[in-house]
Structure 1
Amino acid sequence: MTPNSAMQPNHRLTHHLLLILLGLMLLASLIHWGLRAQVQERVEQKLYDQSVTLLRQLNQQLQTDLKEVRSDLLYLTDQARQNGLTQPQPSDQAIARTSIAFKAFSKYKRRYDQVRFLDAEGMERVRVNANQGQPTIVPTDQLQSKAHRYYFTETIGLPSGAIYTSPFDLNVEHGEVELPLKPMLRLASPVSDAQSNKRGIVILNYLGRHLLNDFLALTRDYPGRTYLLNSEGRYLLSPNKLQEWNFMFPDSPQVGFAQDHPLIWSQITQRGIASSRTAEGRFVHLRMRLPNSQSSLSSGCQNCEFVLILQIPESLLETQIDQEMAHQYPLLGLFFLILGAVLIFLTFNREKRRLSELQIQHLNQEIADERDLFIGGPTVVIHWRNEFGWPIDYISSNVEPLLGYTAEEFQSGELSLSSIVAPSYLQQLIQENEAAQTDSRSWFERKPYQLVSADGRRLWIQDTTSVIRDSAGHITHFYAYISDISPLKQAEEKLQRSHHYIQNVVDTIADPTLVINIDTYRLEIANSAARQTYCGGASIDAEMTCHRLSHKREVPCSGEHDPCPIELIRKTKAPARVIHKHFDSHGKVIYAEVSATPIFDDTGERVVQIIESHRDITHHVEMEQQLTQLAATDRLTQVFNRMKFDDELVEQIEWAKQQQSALGLIMFDIDHFKRINDNHGHDVGDRVLQEAVAVVQKRIRKSDVLARWGGEEFMIITPLADLAVVETVAEDLRKAIAQHQFPQVGRITASFGASMLHPDDDARALIKRVDQALYRSKREGRNRTTVSP
C-alpha cells in the first residue's frame, strides 16, 4: 500500500466535510444576502421618509417664525405712520407716542433685542432696548446716526412695503463678537408718507436664538445628523459645535459645509426637497427662501436663504440594519447548526472505521519505506520505543559511519538512544517528548542536540520525529531520521566570533555608528555610542529599525526635507550625506550629520548593507537658526524688519498670483512721532512703538504679516482679504491706536494707507501705491485711512 492510498480515506473525509461546510456557507450567504438586501431597502426608505417629513416641519416652522417677524415689522411701520412720524419734522409728542408703543410691543413680544425708527437721514429718532425682558426707551441724547450703516442704506432705497433682511450672524459690539453669543437677524422696512416720500425706516433686531431653539426642538429626536447653513454654506448649527459661527471669528478655520462636503454642496442648487448620496451617507436637503412682501427682493436679500440638511450616515444605516438582522440571526443560526450537525455526524460515522484501519496500515508502510529510502545514505533512520532508556527496535546500518556504532549493538539492547545522548541535552529531549504527548502532535522537529560517538566526539544532530500512538492516544513509539549538522554549527560559531570582532571595532568609534540591512532597515550592528545616545546605554531589540531608533517613529524618513540616505544609495549606489533631526533616549532633539556608505555583495553589484555615522551638529544648527532669526527681526519691536518684509512680500505676491487670490497691503505711520521723541525722549518713543505694535498684533489675523518698514512706519500684508476687509482692518486699527492710552504720552494717532494687489503689480508698484495712499492721509489732516483700489 502506498502512502497516497493510505491517506486517501482521510482526504475523502476532509473533502466531504469541506463540501458540507462550503455548501452551508454558500446557502447561509445567499439567505443572508437576500434578507439583508430587503432589510436595507426597508430601513433606508423609513429613514428617508422620516427625514423628508422632518424637513417639511422645519421649513414650515422657520417660515412661520419669520412670517411673524415680517408681520410685526409691517405693523410697526404702520404704527410709525399713525403716530405722525411721516411728517417732515415729527413732533415730540409723535416721537413719545411711538416710543411708548414700541416699548409696549417689545415687552409683549420679548423676541427683539432692539426696536428702532431712523429718519430719512439715518438718525435714530426712537430706540427701545430689550434690556433682558425690561424694555427701556433710549434717551434722545444717546441716539446715534446710522446713516452709513449697511442696513440703512440698503433699506432706504426699497419701495414701500418691501422688507430688507440682513445676514444671519452674531451680534458685534465695539468691533468684537458679543459674549455670550447672540445670533441676530435684522429686518427693516421703509416708512413713507401719503405722497410716497421716504420719511425713514423701522428696523427690528430679531433674537435668532428663538429660531434656532425651534430648529433644535424639532430635530432633538432625529437619529441622524442635522445642519442649518446660511446661503454661503457656513455653519449656523452643526453636530460639531466648534464649527458653528466659525465665519464670525477670523482666527478660526474659515471652512464650511461647502468646503467639507463640496460634492453635496454643488448639488444643492434649487429649492425644494432633494437628496444626494456619497460614501459618508445620504443627505436630504432643502434650500429655503425667507418670506418677503415683494416679488423682487432687495439687494440685501441675497442672504435671504437658509439651507436645511439632514444626514443619514452610513454608520446609522448599518446600525439599524444590524438591529433588524439581529432578530433573524438566532433562527438562522439554529437551523444551520442542526443541519450541519446532522450532515457531519453522518459523514464522520461512515468514514471513521475505514480511516482508522488505513491509518494503521499507512504508518507501518511509511516506516518500511523510509527505512528503505535512507539506508546507505547520510541520514540515519531510527525507530524506538517510548519506554525507560528509549530502547531501539530498528536503526539503519549507516549509523556506523556516522557514530562508529553498529546497528547490532542497538538492536541487541547493548546500547539505547538515551545512552548516546550528551547528558546536557537529555532533559531537552524529554521535554520535547512530553510536549508531543500534550499537544497531540503527529510529528515535530527537535532543536539541535548532541550525540556522543564511539570515539567520544560530540556531533550536532538535527532530526524530524514522527509519533505512533495507541487507541487511547498515548505515545508508544517514535521514529525519526537524523542528520549530522556539525559543519553548519562550526560555521555558525565562526560567524558569531567574526560578528563580535566587528562589534568591538565599531565600539571604538566616538560617533554613533550603525550597520543597517538595506532591505528591512533593521540594525545588524550598533556601536556603544549609538546605544548610549539613543537608548541610554540599554541593549537594542533585534527587530529595531534605524528610523525607530533615531527618529522614534514607525516609518522610514522620506521627502525633500527629510531625505533617506538609504533611498539615495539605492538610486546612486554611492555614499550619501544628509542632515537629520534625531531624538535621543530622553526625547531631546539632536541635529545629526548622517554619513552613509554602501556595502556590496560578492558580485559588487547589489548593495546589501549601509554603514551610517551620526555626527552631532546640534550646536551649529541652533546657532544658524538664532542668526537667521536675528537677521529677520527688528530688535526694538520684535516683528519682521524691512529686509525680511521685502522677501515675504515677494513670496506673498507670487503665491497670490499663482492661486489667483486677493492680497492687501496696509501701511501706517505714527503721527507727530518726532514730537514724542523731542518732548519725552527716545526711550519713551521706543516704548510707544512697542506699545503700538502690541495693539496692532492683538487685532490682526495669524496669517497677516506685520513688519517695521522704518522709523515709525509699519507694513501689514493681508493675504486672502478683499478691498472691503482690508479697509475695515485698517480703520479698526486706526481707531484702536487712537483710543489706546500710551504711558507718559497719553493718546496718539496714526495715519493709514492701503491698497490691493493688481494683476500686473510687482512689489515696488504695490508699495508705491500704498505709500501714496498714506501720503494722502497725512496731507488731509492725519488720523485717517485712505484706500487706493
Structure 2
Amino acid sequence: MKSHLIISRQTKAEQSNLRRIQRGLLLGMAALVIAITSLSWHYYQKDRQVFIHSTESISPSKLDVILEELVYLVSDVIQDTLFIAKMHQAYLENSPGVAMLQTKQLLENISSIKPIYDQLRVLGPTGMEQIRINHTEEGPYAVPQNQLQDKRHRYYYQEALEVPKGHVYISPIDLNIEHGQIERPYKPMMRFATPVYDHNNQITSVIIVNYLAQELINVLSKYSEGNVQLMLLNHAGYWIKAPRPDLEWGFMFPERKDTNFSKSFPDVWELISNQKSGRLEHSEGIFNYETIDFESIKHANEKLNQTFSLTAFTPEFNNWKLVTYLPKDTMNEAIGSIRARYVLIAGLLIILSAVSLFLMYQNTLNRYKQRQALLSQAYFDQLTGAYNRTSLDNITKEAFKHNQDAAFIFIDLDGFKPINDEYGHQTGDEVLKIIVKRVQHLLRSNDVLFRLGGDEFAILLSGQLTRADIEHIIQRIEEVIEKPMQIKQNRIEVRASVGYSCYGEDGHDADSLLNAADEKMYAVKHARKQSKQTG
C-alpha cells in the first residue's frame, strides 16, 4: 500500500545517507590523524601565541559552530510545535469526537521519544489546560483532568494569543514555575507556543511546548575550555550560564536581583551591551563577546527562515550575549604551563576529534530514528500496529484509483468496556493486540486492517468478491475474535458485531462506505440484542 511505499522510500534514502556519513567520518578521522601527526611539530613552535589567542577569544569558526547548534535545536522545536498544532487542527476537523484523545496519544508518543520536552500541553481559548503530558523518569504522564491548571495569566499564553497562524512564539529562558513556586531542582525552560484556528479564524486552542533549555546551555558547556569562562547573559545582564551555579538565574529571585554580570563588571557591561561584538582588555582579564540574536540567526539559516517569524518575538528578549572571560591570573598560569602540557595535545586532539565525530554521527543516528518513529506514528496505531484513522483516506484513495472492486468491513467489539472495568486497561490493551494479530492472519496481502479508535476497526478488502465471499470472511473474523483468550490468570471472551459495504453499491469514497458498513453493523448489534431479550 501507499503508506508502506512512503516509509520504504524514505527509510532507504535515510539508510543510504547514514552510510555516506559513516564513510565520510572514517575518511575524515583518518585525515585528521595524518594532519595532526604531520603538523604537531610545526604548531609546537608557535603554540605560545596560538594558545593565548585560542583561550582568550571566541574564534569565528567556533562561534559559527555554536550558533549552528543553537539554531538547529531551536528550529527543531519550532517544527515540532507546528507539527503538533497541525495534527491537532486536523483531528478537530476530521474527528472532533475523539480529537482530544488522538492529540493526547500524539503528545504521549512525542514525549516518549523526546525527553527534552518537559511538558506538552493543549490550552483552551480561556487559558485552561485541556491536555497536559509531563515527561517523567517512568515515561509520559497524562495529568488527570482535576489537576489541570488555569494558565490564562501566564505571559507566554497571553503572547501566544497574538501570534498569527503558522507562527510560533518563543519565550525567554527562565526557570520553570509550578503552583507559583520555582521548581527544584531547577529546570531551565523555554516555551514554544502557537495558536490553533478553526475555519472561522477563531482560536480553538493553544499548543504549548515546554522545552528543557538545559540542552541549549549544554552546547556552551561542550565548547568551554579549562582556562576560559564561557558565559551566556540575557538582555539585562543576568547569567544564564555562569562560571559558578550560584551566580545563575538571579533575575528569578528577588533577594538575588544584584547577582548579575552587569553589577560585577559594570564598565564591561556598559560597553558590550551597546555593541554587537568585540574584545576588551580589562584590568581583571580579557573579555570577548558576541551577540546571539534571532534576527541574524534567521537570515543565516534557510531552514529556520522557512518556519520562523520575528513578529512572534518580544523585542527585548530576542538577543543574548555570549561572553568569554580569561582572568589575568589564569592567563599567566596557562602561559607558564604550556610547555609541560603540550606533549598531550596531539593525542587529545585525536581523541576529541574522534569523540566529536562520534557524537555527530550518534546525533544523526538518533534523529534518523526519531524521524522514522514520527513517520510510523503518522500512519500506524501505536498500541496494536494496525493502520490508524489518519492513514485511511490516503490508502483508500490509492486503492480506489487502481481498483474499484473493493469492500469495507466494520467491526465493533461487544462487551469490551466491562473488560477494562473488571480487569484494567492493560488487559484491555492486550485484548486489542491479540484481536489485531488474529484478524491480520486471516487477511490477504492486499487487504488492510485499520483501528479507527477504541474498540472499532475497519477492513478494506480489495479485489472481486461476492457477497457470499464477504460473508464467509466475516464469519471467520467473528470466529477468531470470539475465540477465548488467556491473559495472565484471566480467561477473556468478547464478541464482535460486524457490518460491511461494497464499493459502488454503498458509496464511492471511504466516508460513505464506512458509514454504510457502520449502519449495517449497528443493525446486527440491534438484532442481536432483540434476539437476546426475546429469548
* TM-score of the two chains, using structure 1 as the length reference: 0.34
* TM-score of the two chains, using structure 2 as the length reference: 0.49
Greater RCO, CA 8 A, separation 6+: 2
User: Which is higher, the Rg of structure 1 or of structure 2?
Assistant: 1
